[in-house]
């Protein structure tokens, strides 16, 4: 199986800090059309998201179920399915003891992608990580995926390094899907 790993905030849905209110979660413009294009290429969809609000005590881990349900519902309305939802509740500077830690799942570490690959028999080399910051790119590169940076202004640090260079860049999710489709066609 090949996958599209999607960062949540700023990539798949509108970027509202610490947004766990299902009614306020909305797909970015063009997301449905973008993912339908990729679904026709036999990609499956997985959200991989850092949720440091849990470690900072802004909300509990129990908020993630309704968030995953909302994303699945939004995609269902677009005739799509979400095959997996993975989140990291940790942050090394967190205030909630059990979540205040360095871990292998928080992007830029590749832990969530590797776990999804193990759980779903995903071929990481045939998969893409799409995100709006270089931590997403680094996580994808470290997992062995191809990577695509949505250059929408959310990356503010631009700390470059060998693992932080994306395979491609696009201004939005729909343009990203077109680039991936073009990449697929060129391989045939």
The residue from 7, 83, 136, 172 that is catalytic is: 7
Burial 81-112 (b: 16+ CB within 10 A, else e): ebbbbbbbbbbeebebeebeeeeebbbbbbbb
Query: Is 62 one of the annotated active-site residues of the chain?
Result: no
- The token pair that represents 106 in the structure block: 């928080």
**Contact assessment for residue 173 and residue 34, using Cβ atoms and an 8 Å cutoff:** yes
**Contact assessment for residue 53 and residue 14, using Cβ atoms and an 8 Å cutoff:** no
Q: What is the 3-state secondary structure (H, E, C) of 137-181?
A: HHHHHHHCCEEEEECCCCCCCCCCCCCCCCCEEECCHHHHHHHHH
d(CA 16, CA 70): 15
Query: Is 73 one of the annotated active-site residues of the chain?
Result: no
List Cα–Cα distances, 168 to 56, 66, 150, in angstroms: 33, 32, 9
The catalytic residues are 7, 9
């Amino acid at each position: 199986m090949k996958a599209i790993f999607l960062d949540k905030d700023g990539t798949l849905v509108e970027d509202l800090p610490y947004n766990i209110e299902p009614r306020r979660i909305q797909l970015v413009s063009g997301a449905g059309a973008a993912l339908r294009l990729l679904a026709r290429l036999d990609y499956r969809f997985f959200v991989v998201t850092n949720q440091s609000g849990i470690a900072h005590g802004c909300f509990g881990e129990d908020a993630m179920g309704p968030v995953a349900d909302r994303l699945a519902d939004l995609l269902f309305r677009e005739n799509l399915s979400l095959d997996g939802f993975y989140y990291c509740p940790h942050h090394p500077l967190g205030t909630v003891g059990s979540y205040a830690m360095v871990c292998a799942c928080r992007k830029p570490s590749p832990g969530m992608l590797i776990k999804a690959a193990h759980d779903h028999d995903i071929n990481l080399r045939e998969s893409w990580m799409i995100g709006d910051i270089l931590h997403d790119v680094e996580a994808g590169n470290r997992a062995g995926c191809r990577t695509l940076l949505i250059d929408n202004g959310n990356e503010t640090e631009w700390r470059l390094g060998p693992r932080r260079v994306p395979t491609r860049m696009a201004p939005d999710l729909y343009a990203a899907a077109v680039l991936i489709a073009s990449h697929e066609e060129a391989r045939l």
